[in-house]
Structures are given as structure tokens and as C-alpha cells.
Amino acid sequence: MPDVPQLAKAELRELDASFKNEINRDKWTKVQFNPDTLKVTFANQIQQPSGSGDQRGSQAQQFVGAGTTKLAVQLWFDVTQDLGQGLPDVIDVRQLTQRVAYFITPIGQPKNDPKKYLPPGVRLMWGTFQFDGIVESMEENLELFSFEGRPLRASVALAIAQQKITTFAFNQANEPPSFTRRNRPTIARTRAVDRHERDHAAHRRRVRRSDADHRQRHDPRAESGAVALRGRGQIRRRREGLRVLARSRAKDRADIETEA
């Protein structure tokens, strides 16, 4: 039976100032869950010239820059789930997201006598996909807390930009392709992918159930609502019992009058 391939995890790596060499391996961090999508946006810098005359039409536009390329990606971290390899065993999710926040934190250059501050270069690597740039923005959402107020789950939205439009970069993965048009995937590889997708869907269901349980336990409005529902049910049953008793008494009176 062929070996089941190991699932490739996306990883953030630090680059030097030239965006060519990978440095500071201890700062690299893997993601806990691979992103659902990667959105790459290309944009040229085009300017409408000023002055008199008719400025309409494509010939009046001027290309004034090298353009930009941006990558948008959302990452998820959850310390209530298996952290996997490459991540420290922690109980506060911000101990994981701070490893991502490192790539947006400006670093003084030169270090011994800083004259300017720049964020480190970053490379997002996932299988054969590779994108180099600097982190332009980061948005962190804390979505689940423990009873003590400790953050347990977070999503991190990253925008990585490079000030040019370049040809696509491909990382040379060591693993042979698990699927091509000429080489269909083996049963073992297909089952491995299906199992990963099922595990991911099961994790999403567990997250939704835990959110509902958490809100029911810790939201006083939900608790008061449940109490109110129970109270209304008791009142409804009591009223139904009184109506049955009234009908029974009316029937007894009618029977007595008939016998008389």
C-alpha cells in the first residue's frame, strides 16, 4: 500500500532586506489550519495627465509606476484543538498570534544605532505557492474566551504587499504531485485528502457547537431567556389544567340538573 503523503502546512518565513535569503529560522511560524483561500491582487499605477485639451481615451493615460502585488489571507488559531507540529504547546491563543504579529513589527536599522524602522520581509510558503513582501496590515479577532477570560480562539487577517509586479514564484516541493491530469491520484492519496476535508468540516461543527454551549453557559440573557421560556410553559400548562377542571365541573352540574 503506498505511503499516505503528509499534509503541507502554510508557513511564514523572515527574509533579509533584499527579499532573497531566508533568515532567523527561530522566528518562522507554521499555521495551525491551512487557509481556505489565497487572494492575490495585481495593480498598475496609471495617471491621467493634467493640462488643456481632450484627455479622454486610453492614449491619454500614463503608466507612472512599477505597480503593486498584494496577498490577502485569513489564518485561524484555536488552542482548544490539536496544535500540530511546529507550534508551541500554549493555553492562550495570543501566544500563537504574536508569532504572526512579529512580521508587522518595525525593526530598527541598523540594530546598533537605528536610523529608520522597517517591518521585516516575509515569505508565505505553502506547497508550491510562494509570495514575498512586507505585511501591510494585520487584523486580529478574538472569538472565544475561557471562564477566566483567557482568549482561546482567534482569526488573523493579513495583507502582504510588494511594490512591483513580478512573474509567479513557484516553490520546488519535494513531494511528487498527488494529482495531475495524466497521473490520477491513488486511492490512498484520495482517502488522505478526503479525511483531511472531513476533519476540517468536523472541526467547524465542533467550533459552532462550542460557541453555542459557551453562549448558553456565560450569556445571562440566554439564561434569563431560557428561564422565561420555562416560566411561560408552566403558565400555559396551568391555564390548560384550569380549563379542563372548569369543563369537568360544568359537566357535573349539568348531570345533577338533569337528574333533578
Burial of 77 (0-12, 13-18, 19+ CB in 10 A): buried
Percent of the chain residues past pLDDT 90, beyond the cut? 39
CATH topology of domain 11-53+60-175: Elongation Factor Tu (Ef-tu); domain 3 (2.40.30)
Cell, residue 90 = 500554549
DSSP for 103-143?
GGS-EEESSSS-SEEEPPEEEEEETTEEEEEEEEEEEEEEE
pLDDT given for residue 84 in this prediction: 84
φ, ψ of residue 102 in degrees (nearest 5): -55, -35
Instruction: Kindly report whether the peptide bond that precedes residue 220 is cis, defined as omega within 30 degrees of 0.
Output: no
Please count the other Cβ atoms lying within 10 Å of the Cβ belonging to residue 143. 14
**Confidence band, pLDDT 50/70/90 cuts, at residue 1:** very low
Cα 126 to chain center, whole Å?
A: 16
CA angle 139, 145, 147 (to 5 degrees): 160
Query: Under DSSP, is residue 178 helix (H, G, I), strand (E, B) or coil?
Result: coil
Please count the other Cβ atoms lying within 10 Å of the Cβ belonging to residue 107. 13
> For the whole model, what pTM was predicted?
0.63
In this structure, the chain runs to a length of 260
Distance CA 48, CA 127 (A): 41
The model's pLDDT over 40-53, given as tens digits with 9 standing for 90+, comes to 999 887 776 665 45
The model's pLDDT over 167-207, given as tens digits with 9 standing for 90+, comes to 777 777 655 566 555 555 554 555 555 565 666 666 666 76
Cell, residue 85 = 507540529
Helix H or strand E segment including 253: helix 220-259
Report yes or no: 105 and 146 within 8 Å, Cβ to Cβ: no
Distance CA 114, CA 108 (A): 5
Please count the other Cβ atoms lying within 10 Å of the Cβ belonging to residue 156. 19
Highest mean predicted confidence (pLDDT) among 17-21, 136-140, 182-186, 229-233 = 136-140
The counts of H helices and E strands in the chain are: 3, 13
Report yes or no: 135 and 158 within 8 Å, Cβ to Cβ: yes
Cell, residue 172 = 520546488
The model's pLDDT over 44-85, given as tens digits with 9 standing for 90+, comes to 877 766 654 555 555 556 666 678 899 999 999 999 999 888
Residues facing residue 62 across a β-bridge: 47
Domain boundaries, the chain: 11-53+60-175
CA atoms 41, 134, 27, 89: torsion sign? negative
| pLDDT exceeds cutoff 70 at 116 | yes
Least confident of 74-88, 120-134, 230-244: 230-244
Cβ neighbors of 88 (< 8 A, separation 6 or more) are 95, 96
